[in-house]
């Protein structure tokens, strides 16, 4: 079967079983082409909350499917490749966070959305890369414990002056692999290019960038900028999507090290498999969560959506 035939089959089956396909911007071109919505983690949460369909196929990693399930307990959420996890989301155990909370009882705990549902249950507010600064600025608490990404935390800390923000050592191993040297080399090769980077990158890379934002923020900036050349400092798939969307501009990667093996796991065949599971009522790919866990993990996501306004 050709890619086009497989895509057509997916679209047909998706409509027949009343499903919506949500894809993170790091998914492959073939998946983005069949997705109903493609965007960053914040947009995925909002689309999941507002989804009209009975079934949500989440092409991304596990914490994104969990977030969609938490926001839609009555709907069925499927992660097409059950092996797709996010190493950052699992960096801390609930016990480690419980101990930190005991040591820092007057700090509100803010969790990056890249955390497991178990960790979300222990947190006060959740944030995404596009909403972290705005949400933390608007929180009532002055003392914050930010988990788990120290690079995103550093980015927030430098931009939010009215809070005392404590960070712990954690982060995305994929983004953290890019160095200032990589950025200098890329700039030397393309002196007219603007460097657009994700805040999960090393603080030295973030400080040297021309723009810092979420995956959707980077895409919007590049599309609206009068500049014609860009160095993309996030998962390398974003460069590919931008080159496709803006053929008149030129996009280069900051470093081939920013390639997330987990985001690359999901294939069109996996999406078709998940849709067949929806049709047959099989639960192989389904994200299942206990009702009490959903309620407990939901509070910090609702708080994120409330504070974001």
Binding site for ligand 13P (CB under 6 A): 40-41, 86, 114, 128-130, 172, 200, 214-215
Residue 87 interacts with which of ligand SF4, ligand 13P, none, CB < 5 to 8 Å by class? ligand SF4
Which x/- pattern over 3-42 shows residues binding ligand SF4 (rule: CB under 6 A)? ----------------------------------------
- CA 166 to CA 243: how far, in whole Å? 38
Is 200 or 286 the residue whose CB approaches ligand 13P more closely? 200
Integer Cα distance of 37 and 303 in angstroms:
24
How many residues are there in the chain?
Answer: 309
By beta-carbon proximity to ligand 13P, the closer residue of 215 and 266 is 215
List, in sequence order, every beta strand (DSSP E) within the chain: 19-24, 37-39, 55-59, 76-78, 108-112, 125-127, 143-147, 164-167, 194-197, 211-212, 229-233, 250-253
Taking CB under 6 A as the rule, which mask of x and - marks residues 75-94 in contact with ligand SF4?
Answer: -----------xxx------
Which of ligand SF4, ligand 13P, none does residue 182 bind to, with CB < 5 to 8 Å depending on kind? none
Site string for ligand SF4, 92-131 (x = CB under 6 A): ----------------------x-----------------
Angle at 175 between CA 168 and CA 196, to 5 degrees: 115
Among ligand 13P, ligand SF4, none, partner that 129 touches (CB below 5 to 8 angstroms by kind)? ligand 13P
Interface pick for ligand SF4 out of 182, 235, 286, 303 (rule CB under 6 A): 235
Q: How far apart are CA 55 and CA 181, in angstroms?
A: 45
CB burial string 235-274: b at 16+ within 10 A, e below:
bbbbbbbbbeebeebbbebbbeebebebbbebbbebbbbb
Name the token pair of 44: 């995925």
From 5-13, 99-107, 124-132, 256-264, span contacting ligand SF4 (CB under 6 A): 256-264
Structure tokens, 52: 């009209």
The only residue of 172, 201, 212, 301 in contact with ligand SF4, by rule CB under 6 A: 172
**Could you tell which of ligand SF4, ligand 13P, none binds residue 41, using a CB distance below 5 to 8 A set by kind?**
ligand 13P
Rounded Cα distance, 93 and 72, in Å: 25
């Amino acid at each position: 079967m050709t890619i086009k035939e497989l895509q057509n089959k997916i679209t047909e089956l998706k409509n027949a079983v009343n499903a919506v396909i949500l894809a993170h911007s790091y998914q492959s071109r073939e998946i983005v082409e069949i997705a109903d919505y493609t965007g960053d983690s914040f947009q995925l949460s909002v689309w999941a909350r507002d989804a009209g369909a009975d079934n949500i196929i989440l092409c991304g990693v596990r914490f994104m499917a969990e977030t969609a399930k938490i926001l839609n307990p009555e709907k069925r959420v499927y992660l097409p490749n059950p092996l797709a996890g996010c190493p950052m989301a699992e960096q801390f155990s609930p016990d480690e966070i419980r101990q930190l909370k005991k040591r820092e009882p007057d700090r509100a705990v803010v969790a990056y959305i890249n955390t497991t549902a178990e960790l979300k249950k222990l947190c006060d507010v959740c944030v995404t890369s596009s909403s972290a600064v705005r949400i933390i600025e608007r929180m009532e608490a002055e003392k914050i414990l930010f988990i788990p990404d120290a690079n995103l935390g550093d980015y927030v800390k430098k931009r939010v002056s009215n809070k005392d923000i404590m960070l712990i050592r954690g982060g995305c191993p994929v983004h953290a692999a890019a160095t200032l040297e990589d950025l200098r080399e890329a700039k030397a090769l393309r002196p007219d290019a603007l460097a657009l980077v994700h805040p999960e990158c090393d603080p030295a890379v973030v400080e040297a960038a021309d723009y810092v934002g979420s995956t959707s923020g980077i895409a919007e900036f590049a599309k609206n900028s009068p500049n014609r050349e860009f160095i993309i400092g996030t998962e390398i798939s974003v460069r590919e999507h931008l080159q496709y969307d803006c053929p008149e501009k030129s996009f280069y990667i900051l470093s081939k090290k920013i390639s997330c093996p987990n985001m690359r796991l999901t294939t069109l065949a996996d999406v078709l498999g998940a849709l067949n599971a929806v049709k047959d009522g099989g639960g192989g790919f389904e994200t299942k969560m206990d009702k009490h866990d959903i309620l407990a993990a939901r509070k910090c996501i609702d708080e994120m959506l409330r504070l974001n306004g």
